[in-house]
A and B are shown apart, each in its own frame.
Chain A
Amino acid sequence: MSGIDKKTVEKIAQLANLKLSESEVTKFTSQLSEVIDYNVEQLNKVDTEKVEPLLNASGLVNSTREDITEPSLSQDQVLKNAKETHNGFFKVKQILDQT
């Protein structure tokens, strides 16, 4: 059993930067436990000793290109969808203490 309780769900929500309501926390606690328990039980049936993880099914590795600059989006285009801008920059909330 994964032992997912309300506290775990609240911690995960914080890591995921999601604000959950009380009822969402309750619902996710049972749904995540159910889904995780089922999936882990399934996976544990398989012996994976000496098996390398498969991260990309096509087998392509390290696709590179010449280091040549090409035209890209203009500053105006890039900022077009921003909620707040300042002097041509994205404006974000202060995250560091001023002192």
Chain B
Amino acid sequence: MKTIREIEKSLNNKEISSVELTRETLRVAKEKDQELASFLSFSEEIALEQAKSADNLRAVDKEVCWLTGVPYGLKDIIVTKDVATTASSKILEDFVPPYNSTVYDRLLSVKGVLLGKNNCDEFAMGGSTENSAYQKTKNPYDLTRVPGGSSGGSAAAVAAGLVPFSIGTDTGGSIRQPASFCNVVGLKPTYGRVSRYGLIPMGNSLDQAGPITQTVEDSALVLNIIAGYDPKDATSFKKELPDYSKNLWEGVKGKKFGVVREYLNEGVDKEVAEIFKKALKTIEKLGGEVVDISLPRSEQAVSVYYLVMSSEVSTNLSRYEGIRFGKSRDHFGPEVKRRIMLGTYSLSSGYYDAYYLKAAKVRRLIAEDFQDAFKKVDFILGPTSPVLPFKFGEKIDDPLQMYLCDIFTVPQNLAGLPAISIPSGFVGKLPVGLQITANHWQEEELFKAAFAFEQETKYFEKKAEGF
């Protein structure tokens, strides 16, 4: 699959029209997806209509947007008017939304082409996409392994070349971890950067939508369109938006990268730690300075996350009562029920202070740790996931073990920070991601650092065999 920039060029040069591109992309995607199962649905008719409209615009306007006429996927937790949106749950099996999410509206406004909706864990709860009520998405780099989650369909689809980009959502790592497992680029923006309007909510104080792409430049190009204040989301921020793709080449010379050494001792696969150490060498070679830092409260991050998130889940999912839309509550899958139960318990009378409130207090300390760190460094580096992509069924029956795999990705959601996962090497054929975290609103800096690493290493060029 070509990158967004490359597709833009061929559309501009009239090598191909958007309708032709969309037809061909659909044909290939449908064929490859029989094995991969990364899409829950293809919206063929709508895609061709949108492609035609993009071609018409391009015919009269030379200055169209880089996404005009470019096909993409949306995680099926992003609400699309008149296009079924299931959250990969049986409870929303027959739900056809009467309105659009702002993310989709923005992509409509520049005439992107919605190819279909990507599979994910049910209500975005999980780290392997095995919790989808419909199908198991495979990892294109090893079909016996999971693609990560919860945005596993999006990551697998981009990695296998079905679409140049897909939009995922990230509550505790759900964009970054599947990006790491599938050798693609996944960005979780600052909380408040991208409107949450029309994202089926999981943890309102944690959720963010963001791009999953093949390259860092593509990630910047997509963020340029979906970011920005939205009156429909009271937690979105009125803040100036830079052109994220403009200064990518500025590099990292003189920038300071913080590393938490104690992270690498416990619970991290040896091979993952080795690849991370190699990545540090690359950063130094590029002129960055690697500095030891400590984030003492990160040890508690997973515990804070699972109490805060599940509390928000139990409140959020009370809306599914089978009256206004959707089916009855017995259509929830096991992980969703588990989190509703956990959250209901944490919020119930007599336990609220000890669980939810205590967690919210430790959350503040975690956020303060990051602010202390950012007085000394520009970025924080770490592996995205402590483990390699695992086999189907390997962790699904042990929720606590599965939860502990989120150790490197949940702190950023708790603190509202932007972070990106980029390809950083392979163990055999299995990809390993590098995570770069920056302070609030520093996505532009994040892209520059990620781009420098990407251009030096070019791991994104190694595509999955057979795709």
Hey, which bits of chain A sit against chain B, CB under 8 A? 4, 8-9, 12-13, 15-20, 24, 28, 31-32, 34-36, 38-40, 42-46, 48, 51-58, 60, 63, 65, 73, 77-78, 80-84, 90-92
Contacts and interface: CB of A to CB of B under 8 A. Distances in A.
B191 A80 contact: no
B337 A20 contact: yes
Given A17-B318, A48-B358, A42 B399 contact: no
Nearest to A21: B330
B49 interface: no
Interface stretch (B54-62, B63-71, B117-125, B340-348): B340-348
A11 to B, nearest CB: 8
Contacts of A20: 337
B367 interface: yes
B364 A18 contact: no
B447 interface: no
A52 to B, nearest CB: 6
B interface, size bucket:
35 or more
B415 interface: yes
Contact of A57 (B334, B342, B416): B416
Contact of A80 (B98, B205, B237, B417): B98
Contacts of B326: 81
B237 A60 contact: yes
Interface string B301-330: 011101100000010001001111110011
A43 B399 contact: no
Nearest to B343: A16
20 contacts: A9-B341, A12-B341, A12-B345, A17-B318, A19-B330, A20-B337, A24-B334, A32-B342, A42-B299, A43-B303, A46-B362, A55-B360, A57-B367, A57-B416, A58-B190, A60-B235, A60-B237, A77-B98, A81-B98, A83-B323
Contacts of A35: 306, 342, 399-400, 403
Closest 8 CB pairs of A and B: A57-B416, A53-B360, A81-B325, A54-B364, A77-B98, A39-B303, A42-B303, A48-B361
Contact of B235 (A18, A24, A58, A83): A58
B355 interface: yes
A40 B191 contact: no
B99 A73 contact: yes
A68 B325 CA distance: 28
Given A16-B314, A17-B329, A42-B299, A31 B98 contact: no
